[in-house]
A and B are shown apart, each in its own frame.
Chain A
Amino acid sequence: MKAVYRAFLHEFGRIFTVRPAFAVLVVAAAIYAAYYPQPYVNEALRRVPIAVVDSEDTTASRELARRVDATADVAVALLFPDMASAERAVFARDVHGILFIPKDFERSLLHGRGSPVALYADASYFLVYQRISLAVTAVAWTMGVEIETARLIGAGIDPVLAAAASDPLPLTAVPLFNPQSGYATYLLPAAFVLILQQTLLIGVGLLSTLPDRPAAAGAAATVLGKLLAYTALEALVIPAYLVILPALYGLPRLGSLMTILIMALPFVLAVGALGLLLAALFRNALTVQLAMAALGLPLFFLAGFSWPAEAMPQTVQMLSLLIPSTSAIDGLVRIAQMGASLSQVARPLLTLSGLAVLYAAAALALESRRRGTRTGR
């Protein structure tokens, strides 16, 4: 027990005295907290510019264009008489969509015929495509329902029945947990978990590869003491990252700090132990840094958060469970953002606990073997 405490104190002190490790574990974590969220802090994409090609310029066509322009998501930036010049504007990225209103738009409406319009939306950026297509179809739908209702009333049908006949089964879509569909609210809680993993992984890798005069302790006590030191550090970093930071960026949070910490404990242990393993594998501080540098982005998408795990090949799904961030992002986001209870995140919690045991045992085995060869020499 005393040996564990010695190893703990020794490693905890090194976090703050070994400069490269401190730079990654504390300084980099602080810089990322300010730097990483910048692209997303505006939350929503508003007033995406589109062009309108109005082939007839009537009251009805102008009304449609006006209503599209009045939405929060889309702005009518340019008017063109023909498609060719509108297409050039799309290629030049001056606009990201074209609403084409054909000739006879108004006449067809007045005669009670279907009066289609065409929307060309830029799908080389999915968020842009989604904004434009949702906004324009909603406007056209509402305007269509109004026209149809008015026409039925004009035909002498009871207004209540007319409304029912135009839209007999209204669909109400209720977005949960991120009601404004904010991009920061969606991305940052998951990204913060990944940043925690990457900084801890590299930091532990550096601590264990840079020169050290270890405290007098056995293999088990050393591994345990080190893991405790990382846990003590993260007991400060995690509330800052998963509670204070989201509050500063105005992200909603439903989960309690206690539940978050319970979920985070096996995560920190698993990442810490994995860091010890990587250090044993790479053996050199620079190699740890270089090998880990580009890993963040692939691991983020591997986590099945931004791109559904259901769409990944089975083997990739299985392998992804070996990376702590996969279960941690799933569990922590569901707890903190969605308010899930511990029993609802039992699967990621168990997976992380399993990883923690597995990696800690492997780190212990490596540490014992290393000592064995050293004393044998």
Chain B
Amino acid sequence: MPAHRRGFWCVFWRELGWLRRRRLLAGLAVFVPLTLLALLTAIFSAGIATRLPIGVLDLDGSPLSRSLIRMVDAAPDTEVALRVSDLGDGRNAILSGRIHGLLMLPRHIERDVQAGRRPEVVFFYNTQTMTTGNLVLRAVNAAVPAAAAGLRLSLRTAQGQDTDLAQAALSPIPVQVHALFNPTLNYAHFLLAALLPAVLQVVVVTVTAYSVGLDVETPHRLHILHRLGGGLWPALAGKVLPYTFLFLMVLGLSDWVLFGWLGLPLRGNGALLLAGSLLFILAGQLIGMLLALVLRPMASAVSIGTLLMAPAFGFMGVGFPRMGMNGFAQGWGMGLPGTWYLLARIDQTIRGAPAALSLKPLLILAAFVVALSGLIAWRLEAMRARRRRTA
């Protein structure tokens, strides 16, 4: 190791040495993100939520009501976990968090159906918890019309219609719904794959603000770094690149789990994905570096980095898409590297979009890197000028 020689490699190796010796730095750059990624992966490992508990209030107790209950229970999303005797019990069970919905089958439902009186089946579902609410609704929405279809068939054949013709007339406009890019509606493919980079973005910005802050917090330390690197640019590059590789490895490891273990499809262009990941990490690092150069003490740089990046996931438009946001949120989201990285990432993984469509987000990420480098250069120039004036 040419420690005596100044230049990029001198700073580069010094940083790797720090990472080996300083447990805090290595822990923050590697252990913390890996732990958080493992935790998130464990949370979403099932990918699909099944057999969510719902309750039933069966006021009829007829063969028809029992067969309806069986169909709802047999749906993969739901499980009939509770029978209640009145609406008050059902309400109590929902408020106690034991069930996500309540299916109410009215009295004389079977008799009324046979008489053509169209009795109403009511499903109360909890939309305060939106994911589970929508899942149990989906199950009941499919099960009840399926049961009704059998009834309609018998109502028609009872009127003397031919069975085949009656069958065809049951649903005049059936919709064959195809879920593009994620046919099983797997949450790991949808949400987990986007959450991992979002968490990493917070880590990249804050850890870079910290590690760069260690070297630039006082003019004296910045001067030492400058001398070691034989110039500011090689010094800063040597300072930052070891982490670029570490973060890339962390991202690669989590992607290996996603694509290898959880079966996320990798339908796009691997080179584009890698280029996007590299630019995304570099952009995050440069944001952290700029914060460290602008804000003193370094703790403020870390705080502001956290304040900006910790809530960033919402602005990237995965859970609630960006087209539905207000102007501020759309604009702010455009200023986050993660927004563009996720666009390219989703395109080049599950969507398998043509490579040309990912060039725009990649170019924007590259523009981030260039613009942030420019701001950093400008800031360093200003600091140098001030030092000269005071000297």
Give the contact stretch, choosing among B48-56, B235-243, B371-379: B48-56
Q: Interface digits, A325-360 against B, CB 8 Å rule (1 contact, 0 not)? A: 000001001100111110011010000000000000
Contact of B130 among A123, A181, A341 (CB under 8 A): A181
| Closest residue on chain B to residue A41 by CB atoms | B326
Contact of B302 among A181, A289, A297, A313 (CB under 8 A): A289
Contact between chains at A124 and B346 (CB < 8 Å): yes
Contact between chains at A289 and B96 (CB < 8 Å): no
| Closest residue on chain A to residue B210 by CB atoms | A290
| Closest residue on chain B to residue A44 by CB atoms | B324
Q: Check A236 for interface membership: any CB of B closer than 8 A.
A: no
> Please, which residues of chain B bring their CB within 8 A of the CB of A376?
none
Tell whether A169 pairs with B40 under 8 Å between CB atoms, given A20-B299, A35-B311, A311-B50.
Answer: no
Tell whether A186 pairs with B178 under 8 Å between CB atoms, given A44-B324, A298-B39.
Answer: no
- In the complex, A292→B315 CA distance in Å? 20
Q: Check A148 for interface membership: any CB of B closer than 8 A.
A: yes
- In the complex, A315→B129 CA distance in Å? 22
| Closest residue on chain B to residue A92 by CB atoms | B357
Contact between chains at B180 and A163 (CB < 8 Å): no
| Closest residue on chain A to residue B352 by CB atoms | A91
> Please, which residues of chain A bring their CB within 8 A of the CB of B311?
32, 35-36, 296
Contact between chains at B127 and A175 (CB < 8 Å): yes
Tell whether A168 pairs with B128 under 8 Å between CB atoms, given A143-B173, A298-B36.
Answer: no
Q: Check B172 for interface membership: any CB of A closer than 8 A.
A: yes
> Please, which residues of chain A bring their CB within 8 A of the CB of B329?
38-39, 41
Q: Check B277 for interface membership: any CB of A closer than 8 A.
A: no
Q: Interface digits, B94-133 against A, CB 8 Å rule (1 contact, 0 not)? A: 1111001000000001000100111111111111111111
Interface size on A, residues (CB 8 A): 116
Contact between chains at A123 and B180 (CB < 8 Å): yes
Contact of A177 among B127, B141, B145, B305 (CB under 8 A): B127
- In the complex, A117→B122 CA distance in Å? 28
> Please, which residues of chain A bring their CB within 8 A of the CB of B42?
312-313, 315-316
- In the complex, A175→B101 CA distance in Å? 9
> Please, which residues of chain B bring their CB within 8 A of the CB of A130?
134
Contact between chains at B133 and A297 (CB < 8 Å): no
Q: Interface digits, A189-219 against B, CB 8 Å rule (1 contact, 0 not)? A: 1000000001000000000000000000000
Contact between chains at B120 and A170 (CB < 8 Å): yes
Q: Check A295 for interface membership: any CB of B closer than 8 A.
A: yes
- In the complex, A97→B175 CA distance in Å? 13
Which residues of B, 326-373, contact A by the 8 Å Cβ criterion? 326, 328-329, 332-333, 346-347, 350-351, 353-354, 357
| Closest residue on chain B to residue A303 by CB atoms | B43
Interface size grouping (class) on chain B:
35 or more
Tell whether A168 pairs with B116 under 8 Å between CB atoms, given A42-B326, A297-B199.
Answer: yes
Q: Interface digits, A106-149 against B, CB 8 Å rule (1 contact, 0 not)? A: 00010011111111111111111110010011001101110110
Q: Interface digits, B34-71 against A, CB 8 Å rule (1 contact, 0 not)? A: 00100110111110111111000000000000000000
Contact between chains at A290 and B314 (CB < 8 Å): no
Contact between chains at B125 and A39 (CB < 8 Å): no
Q: Check A17 for interface membership: any CB of B closer than 8 A.
A: no
> Please, which residues of chain A bring their CB within 8 A of the CB of B165?
112
> Please, which residues of chain B bring their CB within 8 A of the CB of A173?
122-123, 125, 137, 140-141
Q: Check B298 for interface membership: any CB of A closer than 8 A.
A: yes
Q: Interface digits, B177-199 against A, CB 8 Å rule (1 contact, 0 not)? A: 11111110101001100010011
A-B contact pairs, 15 of them (CB 8 A): A35-B311, A36-B314, A90-B180, A114-B172, A124-B190, A124-B350, A129-B179, A140-B173, A148-B172, A186-B129, A189-B128, A308-B100, A316-B43, A334-B95, A334-B97
Further 17 A-B residue pairs, CB within 8 A, beyond A48-B323, A91-B351, A301-B40: A20-B299, A38-B326, A39-B329, A109-B173, A116-B175, A124-B350, A147-B173, A169-B151, A170-B121, A286-B210, A291-B28, A295-B36, A297-B310, A308-B132, A338-B94, A340-B96, A344-B92
Q: Which 5 pairs between the two chains have the least Cβ-Cβ distance? A: A164-B116, A123-B179, A311-B49, A294-B202, A144-B172
